Each structure stands twice: as structure tokens, then as C-alpha cells.
């Protein structure tokens, strides 16, 4: 391959990766993802596997680097290790695409293989890091409603099917192949968006819905000028103050009294079970607003009456605080963020960044992610947990009629992380037919209807705000909720099986993959 052809492939790979990135918020150009896939498949389909791996890795860097650069805000260069992992998870399936490209129905098998790659990164290493699933860039697009049928894996499958179908369509037109392959390619391009648009949308409100008024409090975080201990206190004080102002507006008749108030993750970084002042402050404002407040609290290690250590490290908890009673229920985050809430391979990671020493390993929880929160059975996906299909589904199958994503995005500064997380939350709303409340310390908080529509959101980052909206409490179950990981396993299994078939065919023909 000459230098000019090499340069063209390099440019194509980079443009393809940037197109995938552009499909994610804040740009949200959902239609760019299938175009990027078409260009990417065209770049690797006729190459040996080593070359396909290289071009796939280049495209993955162009996609993942801008998407995940926020992860380095806290732990410095360690995030490059995470980047390497997700790049490999993209590049390895692409290295296998040449085995599938000449098989009948190639777009179908390529889409299944992509799902297999996403299924892997959902689970490994370190519990998985599936932030870059293509489905998460599709909220509000033509493919989004497919989530209610087969979850995020079906959405990603449909996007890749369209993109690979577009590649096959162009190839058929250029080679003037028979009508059947051309029609098949056209079907692959269109089936995803056509079915997605045809699927009935969940109504934002429906006859017979029970509804509640919910408030999301965004207290904001001091950005400079305070030592760490003082900043923790200031964050708690900020959320107390915003809730007090909400109570004043309710008393003045300016806003309807909420039935439930939700604070963000880490809104009380001071353990209210160990600190009497923090406990008294939370109780006082809860009594004043007169409804349960879900407090994001960091709970420190605990001992029993005999002094035996029960829990060694801190825990990231959502605690239901009830007027005139105190804490009545809690959920401890189960799926911790690697290199953020704990450091795997700490010895190796410390070689890349001195910031590793600042990270204290949290203890994961083990309970069901549902809280009895006043009138709601509140399903909790704390921050990072919203990216995991099973974590959100666990809440719904355990009886949640409302979902919340309490999050502390202040750590990641003025990055796109919060907007990407909002896109995921919108897809989860569609997937499970549940309203979703995002409460963020520094923004962007949002309230999302079951159809994925954003009912309300706060403005600029690092500003205080309160959202008050009426949302339905739903107990319906979508097909995606009932099927769980079934569609993912079927699609991934088909993709891997076809790789084996493609390898056997290539070997029989004496070709090199």
C-alpha cells in the first residue's frame, strides 16, 4: 500500500473516530455514529488483521480520547491506562472484521461482533468501564426507543448495523453486484431507525399514573480558597441553604411543596452518623421542608459496641432522612469507579501519577438499590452506576417506580462528563419506562420523563439551583426490563460464532486474515 493510500486510511480512521465522538453529548449528533461506523468498516474490511487492528486502534483513540479525557482530572496520567483498555476493546473486534466482511450478511455479523466487544468492556477489567457504548450517544435520536425492546445493546447493534449496511451498500453500488446484496444492504441501513421510530414512545404522563412532585437540589461546590475540611463543610451548608430557600418559596406559595427532595452524591461529605453538627443541620432542614430528603453522604468506617471494626473504608451512600425521625433507609454504592473511588494495581498506578496516593479506597455496598423514600420506591444508580445495564435493571426489578442518579461531577471540572451522563440517564428512562431525577453537586441537574424528554435542567456548571417538577411513578415493565442481558448474550454469541465461521472459511480458501 502506497503512502497516499496509507494517509487516506489514517485520515478516514481519525474522521470515523471523531464522528463516533460527535454522536455523544454535548454535541449529540446521533446520526454521526452510523456514518462513522460506515467509514470505519470501509477502512479495515479489506486489510489483514494486524493492519485492521492498527487502523481500529487509531480510530478508537480519536473516539475515546476526547470522550474520556475528563477521567484524568483527578488521578492524572493514570487515566491513560483506562484509555488503553477501552481502545483495545474497540480495536480487537475491528481486527476481526476482515473475517466477516466477505460472508453473506456481513453487516449483521459485524454489528453482532461490536456488541460482543461492548459486552466485554461492560464486565472487565476491574468490573468494566462501558462509558463509550454507542447507545449512550443516541438519546433523542431515531434509534433511542429500541432501548425499550432490548436495552442499550440493541441500540448499539442497530447503529452498527446501519453503518455497516451503508458500507455494504456503497460496495455493492461500486461493484455493480446483484440486486439481492444491494437490497440486503439497504435493509441493514434502514431497519434500525425505521423500527426505532415506529416503536411507540412511553407517554410522559398517562391516565392512571400516580404522580409526585420531586425536587432536585444542586447546592454547588466552592472552587477555590478553602482547605479540604472547610470545603466539605461548605458543600453541606450549600445544600442546606438551597433547601431552606426552597422551603421559603413553598411557604410563600411560590412553588408547590415537593413530596420528595433529592440531594446529590457527596452532598454531605461529612459523615452525619459520626458528626453531630452535620446530623443536626440535615435534620433541621428536613423538618423545615417537611418531606423526606435523600442525602448523598460519605460514611466513614464503623465499629460495633465492642470496638470491632465492621467496615474499614469509607462508603458512598444515599440516605433517606425523614422529618422528625431521622435516617430511615440507605443504599451504599455497589459499583465503584476504578482509579476514582478505588485504585486497582495501586503499586503500578502510582508509577504513573503521584495523585494515586490521594485516593482512599471506598468499600462497595451489597444491598438492593431501592429506597423507601416517602411516596416513592426510589431506584438509585449513583453516578458511575448508570452506565451498567444490570445495575439500573436491578433497581427496576426490585420494585423501583422512580429512578435517581445522584452524582458529584465537581471533581471533573468544566468537562463534558456531566452531559454524557445525562445522555445515559435519558436512555435509561426509555429503556425502563421510568422518570429519572439527576441531582448533581455542581451541575448539570435534570429531571427526565419516561420517554427520555428533559423536563427541566439547571443552567451553567458551578452554579446553585433547584428543580421542582411533577413526575409519574410507574410500575410497568418494558420488554428490555424483562429480557435483561438476554439480547446482549444472543447478539454477542452470534458475533463470536461468526468469527469462527469466517476464520474457517478464510483458512479453507487459503487466505490470510
Q: 323 and 287 in contact (C-beta within 8 Å)?
A: yes
Catalytic residue among 133, 281, 333, 488: 333
Catalytic residue among 64, 118, 122, 265: 265
Which residue in this structure is represented by grid cell 461492548?
118
Catalytic residue among 145, 281, 383, 488: 383
Q: Give me 131's grid cell.
A: 462509558
Integer Cα distance of 64 and 87 in angstroms: 7
List the alpha helices (DSSP H) in 261-369.
276-289, 346-352
Three-point CA angle 314, 316, 319, nearest 5°: 120
Q: To the nearest 10°, report the CA torsion of 280, 321, 406, 454.
A: -120
Which residue in this structure is represented by grid cell 433523542?
140
Active site residue 265: yes
Q: What's the burial of 227, exposed, middle or buried (CB within 10 Å: 0-12/13-18/19+)?
A: exposed
Residue 153, φ and ψ in degrees, nearest 5: -60, -40
Integer Cα distance of 400 and 479 in angstroms: 16
Q: Give me 26's grid cell.
A: 454535548
Q: 168 and 188 in contact (C-beta within 8 Å)?
A: yes
Three-point CA angle 215, 136, 147, nearest 5°: 85
Q: Which residues contact 137 (CB under 8 A, 6 or more apart)?
A: 20, 23, 24, 25, 28, 30, 33, 423
Question: CA nearest 407: which of 427, 389, 380?
Answer: 380
Q: What is the 3-state secondary structure (H, E, C) of 1-22?
A: CCHHHHHHHHHHHHHHHHHHHH
Three-point CA angle 220, 222, 225, nearest 5°: 175
Q: Is the peptide bond before 125 cis (omega within 30 degrees of 0)?
A: yes
Residue 244, φ and ψ in degrees, nearest 5: -65, -40
Q: Give me 332's grid cell.
A: 451504599
Active site residue 122: no
- Catalytic machinery residues: 265, 333, 383
Amino acid at each position: 500500500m502506497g503512502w497516499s493510500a496509507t494517509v487516506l486510511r489514517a485520515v478516514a480512521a481519525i474522521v470515523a473516530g471523531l464522528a463516533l465522538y460527535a454522536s455523544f453529548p454535548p454535541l449529540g449528533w446521533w446520526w454521526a455514529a452510523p456514518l462513522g461506523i460506515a467509514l470505519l468498516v470501509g477502512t479495515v474490511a479489506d486489510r489483514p488483521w494486524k493492519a485492521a487492528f492498527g487502523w481500529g486502534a487509531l480510530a478508537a483513540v480519536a473516539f475515546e480520547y476526547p470522550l474520556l479525557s475528563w477521567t484524568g482530572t483527578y488521578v492524572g496520567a493514570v487515566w491513560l491506562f483506562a484509555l488503553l483498555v477501552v481502545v483495545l476493546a474497540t480495536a480487537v473486534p475491528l481486527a476481526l472484521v476482515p473475517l466477516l466482511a466477505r460472508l453473506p450478511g456481513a453487516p449483521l455479523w459485524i454489528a453482532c461482533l461490536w456488541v460482543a466487544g461492548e459486552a466485554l468492556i461492560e464486565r472487565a477489567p476491574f468490573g468494566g468501564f462501558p462509558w463509550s457504548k454507542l447507545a449512550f450517544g443516541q438519546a433523542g435520536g431515531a434509534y433511542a426507543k429500541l432501548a425499550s425492546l432490548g436495552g442499550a445493546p440493541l441500540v448499539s447493534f442497530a447503529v452498527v448495523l446501519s453503518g455497516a449496511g451503508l458500507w455494504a451498500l456503497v460496495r455493492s453500488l461500486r461493484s455493480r453486484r446483484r440486486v439481492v446484496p444491494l437490497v440486503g444492504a439497504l435493509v441493514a441501513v434502514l431497519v434500525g431507525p425505521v423500527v426505532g421510530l415506529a416503536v411507540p414512545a412511553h407517554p410522559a404522563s398517562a391516565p392512571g399514573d400516580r404522580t409526585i412532585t420531586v425536587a432536585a437540589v444542586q447546592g454547588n461546590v466552592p472552587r477555590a480558597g478553602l482547605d479540604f475540611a472547610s470545603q466539605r463543610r461548605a458543600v453541606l451548608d450549600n445544600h442546606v441553604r438551597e433547601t431552606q430557600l426552597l422551603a421559603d418559596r413553598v411557604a410563600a406559595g411560590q412553588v408547590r411543596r415537593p413530596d420528595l427532595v433529592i440531594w446529590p452524591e457527596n452532598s454531605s461529605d461529612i459523615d452525619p452518623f459520626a458528626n453531630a453538627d452535620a446530623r443536626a443541620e440535615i435534620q433541621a432542614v428536613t423538618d423545615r421542608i417537611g418531606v423526606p430528603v435523600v442525602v448523598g453522604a460519605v460514611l466513614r468506617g464503623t465499629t460495633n459496641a465492642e470496638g470491632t471494626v465492621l467496615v474499614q473504608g469509607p462508603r458512598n451512600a444515599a440516605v433517606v432522612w425523614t422529618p422528625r425521625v431521622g435516617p430511615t433507609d440507605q443504599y451504599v454504592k455497589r459499583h465503584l469507579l476504578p482509579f476514582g473511588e478505588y485504585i486497582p494495581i495501586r503499586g503500578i498506578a502510582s508509577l504513573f501519577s503521584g495523585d494515586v496516593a490521594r485516593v482512599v479506597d471506598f468499600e462497595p455496598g451489597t444491598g438492593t438499590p431501592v429506597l423507601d423514600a416517602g411516596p416513592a420506591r426510589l431506584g438509585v444508580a449513583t453516578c458511575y452506576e448508570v452506565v451498567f445495564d444490570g445495575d439500573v435493571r436491578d433497581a427496576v426489578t426490585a420494585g423501583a417506580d422512580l429512578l435517581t442518579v445522584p452524582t458529584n461531577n465537581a471533581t471533573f471540572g468544566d468537562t463534558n462528563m456531566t452531559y454524557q451522563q445525562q445522555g445515559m440517564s435519558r436512555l435509561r428512562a426509555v429503556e425502563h419506562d421510568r422518570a429519572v431525577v439527576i441531582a448533581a453537586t455542581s451541575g448539570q441537574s435534570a429531571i427526565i420523563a419516561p420517554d427520555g424528554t428533559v423536563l427541566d435542567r439547571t443552567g451553567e456548571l458551578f452554579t446553585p439551583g433547584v428543580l421542582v417538577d411533577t413526575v409519574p411513578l410507574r410500575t410497568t415493565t418494558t420488554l428490555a426490563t424483562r429480557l435483561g442481558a438476554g439480547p446482549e448474550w444472543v447478539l454477542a454469541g452470534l458475533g463470536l460464532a461468526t468469527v469462527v465461521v469466517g476464520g474457517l472459511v478464510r483458512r479453507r480458501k487459503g487466505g490470510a486474515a
